[in-house]
Amino acid sequence: MTDPIAPRAQPSHERDRSALKIGILCHPTYGGSGVVASELALTLAERGHTVHLFSHDVPPRLAHASGSVVMHVAQGFPYPLFHSTPHDLAITSTILSIHRQSGLDILHAHYALPHAVSAYLARSAAIADRGRPAPRIVTTLHGTDITLVGNDPSYAPLTQFVIEQSDAVTAVSQNLARRTRENFCRVPLNPCAIEVIPNGVDTDRFHPSAGEGREPGVPTAVHVSNFRPVKRVPWLLEAFALATAGTEARLELVGAGPDQQACRARARELGLESRVEFLGERNHLPEVLAPADVFLLTSSDESFGLSALEAMSCGTPVVATDVGGVGEVVEDGVSGLLSGPDDLAGFAANLKILLFDRRRARTLGQAARRRAEEQFARVTVVQRYEDLYCRLLGHARTPCP
């Protein structure tokens, strides 16, 4: 990785400028990197920066928000030669076009592949242009870009290369930073400086008041995910059945994905069809999270756990498996309850406690809200990214808003 804090040579009038021109690259997803990138883009724009967001579709969190982020949908040319449209090349070309028109100071790639590769190619082309100063590259690692996709032998060498070529690399948890160093740092050739900047949450939007107006009723648990195998929703259903046998407790499942049909079948096999509701994808998550008694996270691996943080911000305590970076978000016994990743009985016991002991759930939920406000508020996290941009560009702290 190149020097993460070496300033770029710039004309003096650029060094004194307060607003930055920032390009953000992300996947158009409901979860994880797509949400974080969209929220970051919106907040940076609110703070006076010019922000361009590049993706092959509009991220849902951005589509349903107002703001002055400039959205560039680059889907590529569907030529029959290609098995699939090369969106990443179209994004690279779009970035280069914007940089040639008006300049970009920062390219912030969320997810190593393909976005850090696209950023690297765009920067290389900008250098070859010998025109405007080339943008600096920040790569934020979110999890599976390191632990699954990027670690596959077919991609690992390229993942390592773009990490080394980035001007700064951040990870969303200490756990992910450690795993990145273990897998991709060629010591002593590359010391792999990685700054940990956690995911943030909009504590004004994800607020306990989103649940006001709903009278306390049947104990309810909620889970939000993309229904992929790593989320282990069938395992969650088994734990719920064990914890709530003989009761009227309900489970709300938010999201969609490849395991959803198997989960519907498993709910029927467990006799839960009348107590489990599949809500599909929702844009108004606070209204689902805030009224719930407990939020459930059963992943076999999780680099951070953004959905758990959003629940915590709503004042909803979390029952989760203690994997990856989850323990950096949820304090066991304080803002939620954690169990071993394969401890079905332990997870069910924790779920039973918070579903049926509402005083305990309320205490943990209040602590969860405080933790979200004090450690993960969106404005605080965005400030850390903004500080990083300014260091890379050689700005003194004062001109940056």
Domains of the chain plus CATH, in order, are 12-200+377-393 (3.40.50.2000), 208-375 (3.40.50.2000)
> CA 390, CA 401: separation in Å to the nearest integer?
10
Q: Residue 213: what pLDDT?
A: 66
Q: Residue 318: what pLDDT?
A: 98
Whether residue 66 is predicted with pLDDT greater than 70 in this model: the reply is yes
Whether residue 85 is predicted with pLDDT greater than 90 in this model: the reply is no
pLDDT tens for each residue of 223-260: 999 999 999 999 999 999 999 999 999 999 999 999 99
> CA 191, CA 6: separation in Å to the nearest integer?
16
- Where are the strands (E) in 183-281, listed by range? 194-196, 220-224, 250-254, 276-280
Residue 324 pLDDT grade (very low, low, confident, very high; cuts 50, 70, 90): very high
Q: Residue 218: what pLDDT?
A: 94
> CA 33, CA 141: separation in Å to the nearest integer?
9
Q: Residue 43: what pLDDT?
A: 94
Q: Strands across the sheet with 318-321, in order?
A: 276-280, 250-254, 220-224, 294-297, 318-321, 336-339
Span 362-366, average pLDDT: 98
Task: Compute the mean pLDDT over every residue in the chain, rounded to the nearest whole number.
Answer: 89
Q: Residue 371: what pLDDT?
A: 98
**Do 253 and 279 touch, CB atoms closer than 8 A?**
yes
More confident residue, 87 or 108: 108
Among 221, 229, 265, 236, residue whose Cα is nearest residue 353 = 221
Amino acid at 50: T
pLDDT tens for each residue of 174-224: 999 999 998 888 655 555 789 999 999 999 999 999 977 666 789 999 999
More confident residue, 77 or 209: 209
Q: Residue 7: what pLDDT?
A: 40
More confident residue, 23 or 12: 23
Q: Cα 267 to chain center, whole Å?
A: 29
Amino acid at 326: V
Span 28-39, average pLDDT: 83
Q: Residue 155: what pLDDT?
A: 86
* 183-186: long-range contacts, CB 8 A cutoff, minimum separation 24: 183/146, 183/151, 183/156, 184/146, 184/150, 184/156, 184/159, 184/160, 186/160
Residue 78 pLDDT grade (very low, low, confident, very high; cuts 50, 70, 90): confident
Phi/psi of residue 117, nearest 5 degrees? -65, -45
Phi/psi of residue 285, nearest 5 degrees? -65, -40
Q: Which two tokens stand for residue 353?
A: 């406690």
Q: Is the pTM of this model over 0.85?
A: yes
pLDDT tens for each residue of 261-307: 999 999 999 999 999 999 998 888 999 999 999 999 999 999 999 99
Largest interatomic CA distance in the chain = 72
Portion of the chain with pLDDT greater than 90, in percent: 72
Amino acid at 151: N
Whether residue 129 is predicted with pLDDT greater than 50 in this model: the reply is yes
Residue 67 pLDDT grade (very low, low, confident, very high; cuts 50, 70, 90): confident
Residue 9 pLDDT grade (very low, low, confident, very high; cuts 50, 70, 90): very low
Residue 84 pLDDT grade (very low, low, confident, very high; cuts 50, 70, 90): low
For 289-314, letters b (16+ CB in 10 Å) and e give bbbbbbbbbbbebbbbbbbbbbbbbb
> CA 14, CA 103: separation in Å to the nearest integer?
12
Phi-psi region of 99 (alpha: psi -120 to 50; beta: other; left: phi over 0): alpha
Portion of the chain with pLDDT greater than 70, in percent: 89
Residue 59 pLDDT grade (very low, low, confident, very high; cuts 50, 70, 90): confident
